[in-house]
Amino acid sequence: MGRVFAIELEGPVYTCKKCHTHLGVPNDVISKNGPYEYEFTRLFNTFLAERTSNDGYKGILCVCCSSEIGNYGVSDPNSYWVMRDELHGPEGSDDDEV
């Protein structure tokens, strides 16, 4: 197995709920799709995985714990949909869940 080198972001960040790896910054959030999903323009410390069904989406996984955190639409390469319940929001924001 290889060694994982994770990027640590400065300032307020969104983190993985399971391993607390930095995934994104609030400035990269395009939209909040109700209480379930966030659309980001870019993510950090993630990788894309093929799905068994060919539905035009790839899974987005955390690079440290390999949990699936969202979907990447192949037809729209500039948007990453992340499930809100897989993220821990920046401290002090309305996204900060205990």
pLDDT band at 95 (very low <50, low <70, confident <90, very high): low
Residue extents of the structural domains in the chain: 14-87
9 three-class SS: coil
Angle 41-86-28 from CA coordinates, rounded to 5°: 20
The CATH superfamily label for domain 14-87 reads Peptide methionine sulfoxide reductase. (2.170.150.20)
Global pTM? 0.85
How do residues 26-63 score in pLDDT, each as one tens digit? 999 999 887 889 999 999 999 999 877 767 789 999 99
